[in-house]
Amino acid sequence: MSRKKQIEQTATALFKSKGFSATSMRDLANALGIEAASIYSHIKSKEEILQRVCFRMADEFFEAIDAAEATGGTATERLQHAIAAHVQVLTNNTEASAVFLHEWRHLSEPFHSQFLSLRDTYEARFRRIIRTGIENGEFTVPDEKFAALTILSGLNWIHTWYKPEGKMTPAEIAGNLSLMLLMGLKTKTDTTLPKSHLTTP
Amino acid sequence: MSRKKQIEQTATALFKSKGFSATSMRDLANALGIEAASIYSHIKSKEEILQRVCFRMADEFFEAIDAAEATGGTATERLQHAIAAHVQVLTNNTEASAVFLHEWRHLSEPFHSQFLSLRDTYEARFRRIIRTGIENGEFTVPDEKFAALTILSGLNWIHTWYKPEGKMTPAEIAGNLSLMLLMGLKTKTDTTLPKSHLTTP
DNA sequence: TAGCGAGCCTAACAACCGTTAGCAAATTTG
DNA sequence: CAAATTTGCTAACGGTTGTTAGGCTCGCTA
């Protein structure tokens, strides 16, 4: 592995555990066993590392959802595939995922805006699947954007606990999440919510 | 309002938008229109602000869930109340909530450990409701901890977009979230589902 | 064997960090 | 009105920050 990749990987681990701002170049150098100044033989700046991690992960998420949507099928199936693809990327590199999810706001312009734009586009992909499902009667949901964001945020906590050696495989995690988010907690034979809390506008 | 509260509030806004580490005392002073050193007439240290915000919010979440659970009822009803209570706290102060959710890791010991312990206890409250619901057949879910964390992470993104002047009230948001998380996205053909949002009576 | 690039070093920079000391003005309280 | 408290100031501290300059030492290749 190239030295640059090694630096990137070590930095990613530190960024995840301490955050970008709280990680100094001297911390990073110490973790690598070299001097801080030596790092600049390989990278241009501290932020360059963050940029590379954020945009590489963005690429991975897009590639994954592209492949998932290409399979076609019903909205339910496409959503399941998109969830599985998202979980796959998330579990494949939890450290980079954590940085991608939490540290992007330390990007300077124009990268900050670029990143947000990519994120919006990605969310729109989920939204479109859900809208299709609403239109053809597969889903019943108050608001399509609301649903998409709830699903995504329900997926994005995985990186906090997932360990490759754990007992659930990424596919099983994806299956459980799909089940919960598509079917809800309620037992199928009794699916009504208490009436005292419902009103129809 | 006391000057100390004012400082805390301004700091909270900055911590939310830039993060704790990336917010300097000179940034905070600038936002307050005074000199950095002047802040120390009111607080002991930068971290004191973070501590106060984190533990005050923890208190609020516990008070809310205490009140919610005290109402009794089925597991479904208790979970709905707990969700509504959580959303209420979250929407009541989005800035402090964001700090509570994302900046706690910059707490030093023993506060860091204390905070994590409180968070675990809070999550266990949700888990217990869900376990009850599984045991008496209200819920069908693969794993109780998994379900609790998925629900909580599905709630905890609200602070990123909620504005008090928006068109959904906190109660409506809670209703929509309850609906999505309890019933899922899939259309149920065997029951009459409310077509839109919920409101508390 | 000469040369080259990769990799790392030391030294140092200017800027910024949280915080303290000591003092002055303003405001509140007796 | 006097005393006490609140609120803010300037100046400065010791330390840390990201980064640059310039040079040394290897292993590889021409």
Q: Which nucleotide is nearest to A41 (CA to C1')?
A: C7
CA distance B21 to chain A (A): 6
Instruction: Give CA–CA dist A62/A66, Å, rounded.
Output: 6
Residue A191 to residue B190, Cβ atoms within 8 A: yes
Residue B184 to residue A188, Cβ atoms within 8 A: no
| A185: nearest CA partner in chain B | B182
Instruction: Give CA–CA dist A88/B58, Å, rounded.
Output: 33
Instruction: Give CA–CA dist A132/A72, Å, rounded.
Output: 12
3-state secondary structure of A139: strand
Q: What is the pLDDT tens value at each position of chain A, 201 positions in all? A: 689 999 999 999 999 999 999 999 999 999 999 999 999 999 999 999 999 999 999 999 999 999 999 988 899 999 999 999 999 999 999 999 999 999 999 999 999 999 999 999 999 999 999 999 999 989 988 889 999 999 999 999 999 999 999 889 999 999 999 989 998 766 654 444 443 333 333
Footprint of strand D on the protein (CB under 7 A): A 23-27, 36-37, 39-40, 44-47; B 2-4, 29, 34-38, 41-42
Query: CA dist A115 to A92, B20, B101, B147, Å?
Result: 21, 21, 22, 30
Query: Quick one: CATH architecture of A46-184?
Result: Orthogonal Bundle (1.10)
Whether pTM exceeds 0.75: yes
Count of beta carbons in the 10 Å neighbourhood of residue B113: 10
3-state secondary structure of B45: coil
pLDDT value for A188? 55
Q: Collect all residues with Cβ–Cβ distance below 8 Å to B83 and sequence separation of at least 6.
A: B151, B155, B174, B177, B178, B181
pLDDT value for B188? 55
Sequence spans of domains, chain B: 46-184
Interface test with A, best of B16, B17, B144, B150 (most A CBs within 10 A): B150
Among all protein residues, pick the one whose CA is nearest to the C1' atom of C21.
Answer: B37
pLDDT value for A141? 87
CA of residue B127 to C1' of nucleotide D6, angstroms: 47
